[in-house]
């Protein structure tokens, strides 16, 4: 707003800022600005922030008294290490911006669906471009972030507002689970148990649509084991936790699906 002298008109949506105090807090939030100069080589990036390389340190040492010079005896600045650290910081900053961009696009689409409105083409395009940008910085980043936001929807709004620390931590957790069969097996058991309990509550309360929705989710989980042999193998020793009995050599995915079908049929019979 540096070009405004007398006044300006500010347009904002009341669905995002129901109270003026929330708008004031959002506008007064301090956020660092990225300049085109930030994308120059690491040395210029560092020196603009007071981080100097060997030539600057040596020059300062020459200007010190002889006695003070002894402090720097044997000192060898590790320029390569510093450059690597700076490059890492730049990468983290790029990742943060990419996560926030994706979260904003996902939040916009989510708001349209909540209002029963069709998602606009430019919104889909924004989400796709944000996903590609994130994957370019972090392989599988879009899949990990999407999974994290599905499990914790509140993180999307936080990241869209510039508070992306929680979303980044959740994304990292999803990445760890994605590459570790044991952690995937733990999550499968946890999700299966939770869905099974929630489904029973819905069936008891007569919420047939809700129960059917959870049944479909559990069926998809069971079928997914056909594409993850490592997890399927680990789960064979945990069938008791899954609430089923299976014989050696039997198809675990089929047994899980069958257990859902039998429970559903039993609940329908009891309802009749």
Provide the 8-state DSSP code for 199.
H
CA distances from 251 to 141, 223, 236 (A): 32, 11, 10
* Best CA proximity match to 150, nearest among 121, 183, 109: 109
Least confidently predicted of 24-33, 162-171, 191-200, 226-235: 24-33
Residue matched to tokens 């730049």:
90
Q: Is the pLDDT of residue 117 over 90?
A: yes
Residue matched to tokens 């050599």:
249
**What's the rounded mean pLDDT across residues 68-89?**
57
Residue 29: what pLDDT? 62
d(CA 223, CA 200): 21
pLDDT band at 139 (very low <50, low <70, confident <90, very high): very high
Residues 6 or more apart in contact with residue 220 via CB below 8 angstroms: none
pLDDT band at 88 (very low <50, low <70, confident <90, very high): low
Residue matched to tokens 């599905």:
150
* Neighbour-count burial of 177, counting CB atoms closer than 10 A to its CB (0-12 exposed, 13-18 middle, 19+ buried): middle
Q: What is the pLDDT of residues 3-12, one digit of tens each?
A: 666 777 777 7
Q: Where do the domains of the chain lie?
A: 39-70, 93-179, 181-271
Asked if 161 and 104 count as a contact pair (C-beta separation under 8 A), the reply is no
Q: Is the pLDDT of residue 229 over 70?
A: yes
Share of the chain above pLDDT 70, in %: 68
Q: Say how many C-beta atoms besides its own lie within 10 A of residue 114's C-beta.
A: 8
Please report which residue ranges of 138-164 form alpha helices under DSSP H. 141-151, 154-160
Q: Can you give the pTM of this predicted structure?
A: 0.60
d(CA 82, CA 69): 23
**What's the rounded mean pLDDT across residues 111-115?**
93
d(CA 33, CA 20): 25
Least confidently predicted of 27-36, 102-111, 172-181: 27-36
Q: What angle do CA 3, 5, 10 make, to 5 degrees?
A: 75
**What's the rounded mean pLDDT across residues 168-186?**
96
């Amino acid at each position: 707003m540096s070009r405004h002298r007398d006044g300006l008109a500010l347009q904002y949506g009341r669905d995002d800022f129901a109270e003026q105090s929330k708008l004031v807090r959002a506008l007064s939030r301090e956020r660092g600005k990225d300049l085109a100069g930030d994308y120059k080589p690491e040395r210029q990036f560092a020196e603009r922030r007071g981080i100097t390389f060997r030539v600057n340190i040596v020059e300062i040492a020459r200007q010190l008294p002889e006695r003070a010079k002894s402090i720097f005896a044997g000192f060898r600045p590790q320029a390569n290490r510093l450059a690597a650290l700076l490059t890492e910081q730049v990468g983290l900053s790029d990742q943060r911006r990419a996560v926030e961009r994706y979260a904003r696009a996902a939040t916009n689409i989510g708001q349209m669906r909540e209002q029963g409105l069709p998602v606009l083409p430019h919104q889909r395009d924004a989400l796709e471009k944000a996903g590609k940008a994130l994957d370019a910085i972090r392989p599988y980043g879009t899949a990990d972030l999407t999974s994290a936001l599905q499990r914790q929807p509140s993180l999307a709004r936080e990241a869209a507002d510039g508070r992306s620390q929680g979303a980044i931590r959740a994304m990292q957790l999803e990445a760890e689970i994605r590459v570790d069969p044991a952690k995937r097996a733990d999550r499968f058991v946890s999700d299966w148990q939770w869905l099974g309990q929630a489904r029973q509550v819905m069936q008891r309360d007569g919420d047939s649509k809700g129960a059917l929705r959870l049944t479909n989710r559990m069926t998809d989980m069971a079928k997914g084991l056909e594409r993850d042999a490592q997890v399927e193998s680990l789960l064979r020793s945990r069938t008791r936790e899954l609430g089923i009995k299976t014989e050696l050599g039997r198809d675990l995915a089929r047994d899980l699906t069958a257990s859902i079908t039998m429970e559903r049929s039993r609940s329908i019979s009891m309802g009749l």
